[in-house]
Structure 1
Amino acid sequence: MNKGLMCLALATAMAAATATGAYAQKKKLQKRENYEFTFDLPRYVEELKTELTYPLAWGNSPIGDFGEWKKAARAKVLECMMTPPRRAASFDMKVVGEERRDGYTARKLMFNVNGYSRVTAYLLVPDGKGPFPAINALHDHGGHLYIGKEKMIRPFDVDSAVIKDADQWAANLYEGQYVGDYLARHGYVVFSIDAPMWGERGREEGVDRSKYDIIAGNMMMLGRDLSAFMTYDDMSSTDFLATLPEVDKDRIGCMGCSMGAYRAWMLSALSDKVRAGAAVCWMTTTDVQMSVKDKKREYGGFANCIPGLRQYLDYPHIASLACPKPMLFVNGTKDHLFPIDGVEKSFAIMHDVWKSQGADDKLATEIWQVPHSCGRAIQERVLRFFDSELKNGGGNTAR
Structure 2
Amino acid sequence: MNNTVRPSAIAAYEDWPAYVRAHPRYRAGTPASQEFADALGVPGASAAPQVQVQWEEEHDGVTTSQLSWQLGFGPRTTGWLVRPAGSSGQLPGVLALHCHGGNKFGGADRLVELPDSHPSAAAARAGLYDGQALATETARRGFAVLAHDSFAWGSRGFDLSTPPWRTGAGLEARRAQWRQDGVVPSEADLYNAAAGIHEDTVAKTAGLLGTSLAGMVAHDDLAALDILAGLPGVDAGRLGCMGFSGGGGRSLALAALTPAIRASAITCMMTTFESLLPAYLDAHSWLLQTPGLWKLGDWPELTARSPAAAFLVQYALADQLFPEAGMRQAHTILENLHPADRYTGAFWPGGHVFTAAMQDQAFEFLGRTLGATAPLPADDASHRIPSSPQGPHS
- TM-score, length-scaled by structure 1: 0.74
**Aligned with 2:152 (options 186, 189, 197):** 197
- Give runs of aligned pairs for residues 1-399 of structure 1, distance below 5 A: 71-82=30-41, 84-113=42-71, 118-126=76-84, 127-156=86-115, 163-206=118-161, 207=191, 208=194, 209-291=196-278, 295-322=279-306, 325-354=309-338, 359-391=339-371
Is 313-322 or 363-372 further displaced after alignment? 313-322
1:24 aligns with none
Contact 2:34 2:257 in 1 (8 A): no
Structure-2 separation of matches of 1:372 and 1:218? 30
Cα distance per residue 1:5-63 (max 9 Å; x no partner): xxxxxxxxxxxxxxxxxxxxxxxxxxxxxxxxxxxxxxxxxxxxxxxxxxxxxxxxxxx
1:274 Cα offset (Å): 0.9
Structure-1 separation of matches of 2:259 and 2:75? 23
1:86 Cα offset (Å): 4.6
1:229 Cα offset (Å): 0.8
3-state SS of paired residue (2:261): coil
Cα distance per residue 1:335-362 (max 9 Å; x no partner): 01011111111111122111xxxx3222
1:298 Cα offset (Å): 4.1
Contact 2:76 2:156 in 1 (8 A): no
1:117 Cα offset (Å): 5.4
Contact 1:86 1:115 in 2 (8 A): no
Cα distance per residue 1:300-352 (max 9 Å; x no partner): 33122333221232111112223552210001111010111111111111221
Matching residue's letter, 1:364:
T
3-state SS of paired residue (1:364): strand
Cα distance per residue 1:154-206 (max 9 Å; x no partner): 234xxx5x522211211111111101111111211110111211111112125
1:275 Cα offset (Å): 0.7
Structure-2 separation of matches of 1:224 and 1:205? 22
Matching residue's letter, 1:334:
A
3-state SS of paired residue (1:303): coil
Structure-2 separation of matches of 1:190 and 1:114? 24
Structure-2 separation of matches of 1:129 and 1:267? 28
> CA RMSD for the aligned pairs?
1.9
Matching residue's letter, 2:67:
L
Structure-2 separation of matches of 1:350 and 1:221? 34
Contact 1:241 1:247 in 2 (8 A): yes
Contact 1:285 1:346 in 2 (8 A): yes
1:241 Cα offset (Å): 0.8
Contact 1:256 1:279 in 2 (8 A): yes
| RCO comparison, higher one (Cα < 8 Å, 6+) | 2
Alpha-carbon distance change, 212 to 115 in structure 1, aligned in 2, over 3 angstroms: closer
Structure-1 separation of matches of 2:308 and 2:159? 43
Structure-1 separation of matches of 2:307 and 2:54? 38
Matching residue's letter, 1:187:
G
Contact 2:284 2:321 in 1 (8 A): no
- Pairs aligned (count): 312
**Hey, which bits of structure 1, 4+ residues long, moved more than 4 A?**
114-117
- TM-score, length-scaled by structure 2: 0.75
Matching residue's letter, 1:151:
R
Contact 2:91 2:372 in 1 (8 A): no
Structure-1 separation of matches of 2:355 and 2:243? 12
Unaligned runs of 5+ in 1: 1-69, 394-399
Matching residue's letter, 1:277:
S
Unaligned runs of 5+ in 2: 1-28, 162-190, 374-394
